[in-house]
Amino acid sequence: MPVKDYIRKRFFPHIWCPGCGHGIVLGGMLGAIEELGLKKKDVVMVSGIGCSSRIVGYVDFHTLHTLHGRALAFATGVKFSRPELNVIVPMGDGDATAIGGNHFIHACRRNINMTAIVMNNRIYGMTGGQFSPLSGPGIYATTAPYSSIDYDFDIVELARGSGATFVARTTVYHVNEVKDYIKKAIQHKGFSVVEILSQCPTYFGRKNKLKDVNEMLEYFKNNTTPVGSQAKKDNPNLIERGIFVQIQKEEYCDKYLNVIEAASKEVKG
């Protein structure tokens, strides 16, 4: 089914600003779902609060727009209750790693079969441009008028350190990778994380004196490189793209079947 059949057309043009990267993520995500041939009724999309989280309003699945930072906790309830559903959780960088950091690391730890997509624009877009745990030092933001001193998380490392079994990263510039990694993430049996560098021209761009959205996409093009590439060795400042973690580990809902079995025996026995 064409990608556009997955969207709720009546809400278009969407709420996002001109040039906002979140729309590109939406496209890539739907491309992945389309290629996987998922039925609309089998997909539940769960989000928190933020510009990025508004994404669920635009897709014609079961959609759950929850609380800031809590999407993965809601999603855990959905998935653990109905493991046969495909649960996809698009999140903002603030949503995923600031207020939602704890749910993020615990989802990584538990290895429930869901896909978290971190739409990382390195800023709180929805609330008007405060720095996020992914902004990094030196970035200007409304709450960092003298530039930020906060170190940033590396989501890949955070997810890895928390035990995630699939972790990938790319940028909206690399839109085919977006589709590809999300597809692989959904196919992965276990918890998967895809970080997608995205742009907020309205706040991140303006505050940091970036000329326009194209300058932001050029940045993604010029400052990233496939993981393990020679380029990275030559220039350690490059950000790596690719699949960083991909391991098989028994999935949580599957493991719970063992609990049910043990418990049922106890009752009978």
Partner 1 sequence: MDSYKIVFSGSGGQGVITAAIVLAEAAVVYDKLHAVQAQSYGPEARGGATRSDVIISDEKINYPKVSSPNLLVCLTQEAYNKFSNIVMPGGMIITDPKYVVISKSDATQLELPMYDTVVEKVGNPICFNTCMLGVVVKISNMVKVESIIKVFESRMPQKFVEINIKALKVGMELVSK
Partner 2 sequence: MAKKVKEIIVNKEWCKGCGICVHFCPKKVLKLDKSNKAAVTDLDSCIGCKLCELRCPDFAIEVKFLDNEQS
Partner 3 sequence: MKEKIKFVQGNEACVEGALYAGCNFFAGYPITPSTEIAELLAARLPQSGGKFIQMEDEIASMCAIIGASLTGSKTMTATSGPGFSLKQEAIGYAIMAEIPCVIANVQRGGPSTGTPTHVSQGDVMQARWGTHGDHAIVAMTASNIQDVFEITIEAFNIAETFRTPVILLFDEVVGHMREKLVIPEKEKLQVIERLRTSVPPGTDYHPYFPRKDGRLPMSDFGGEHRYNVTGLFHDMWGFPTDKPEIVHNLMRHLVDKIENDPKHICKTKQYFLEDAKTVLVSYGASARTALEIVNYSRMRDRKVGLLELQTIWPFPKEIVSKICNQAERVIVVEMNMGQVLELVRANVKNPEKVYLCNRYDGNLVNIDDVKNVLRVVEGRGI
Ligand X SMILES: Cc1ncc(C[n+]2csc(CCOP(=O)(O)OP(=O)(O)O)c2C)c(N)n1
Q: 196: closest CA among 156, 247, 145?
A: 156
By CB under 8 A, the residues from 153 to 172 that bind partner 2 are 172
Q: Does 206 bind partner 2 (CB under 8 A)?
A: no
Q: How many CB atoms lie within 10 A of CB 231?
A: 12
Report the nearest approach of partner 3 to the CB of residue 264 (Å): 6
The maximal CA–CA distance of the chain, rounded, in angstroms, is 71
* Residue among 63, 127, 147, 246 that touches partner 1 (CB under 8 A): 127
Number of DSSP helices (H) and strands (E) in the chain, helices first: 10, 8
Q: Does 93 bind Mg ion (CB under 5 A)?
A: yes
Enclosing H/E stretch for 1? none
The residue written with tokens 């933001």 in the block is: 141
- Quick one: tokens of 210? 């970036």
Q: What is the phi/psi pair of residue 9, to 5°?
A: -60, -30
- The 49-78 site mask, x for binding ligand SF4 (CB under 6 A), equals --x---------------------------
Q: Contact positions toward ligand SF4, by CB under 6 A?
A: 16-17, 20, 22, 51, 121, 125-126, 200-203
Q: Contact positions toward partner 3, by CB under 8 A?
A: 11, 40-42, 44, 46, 49, 56-57, 60-70, 73-78, 80-82, 84-85, 98-99, 101-103, 106, 124, 126-128, 130-131, 133, 142-146, 150, 256, 259-260, 262-264, 266-267
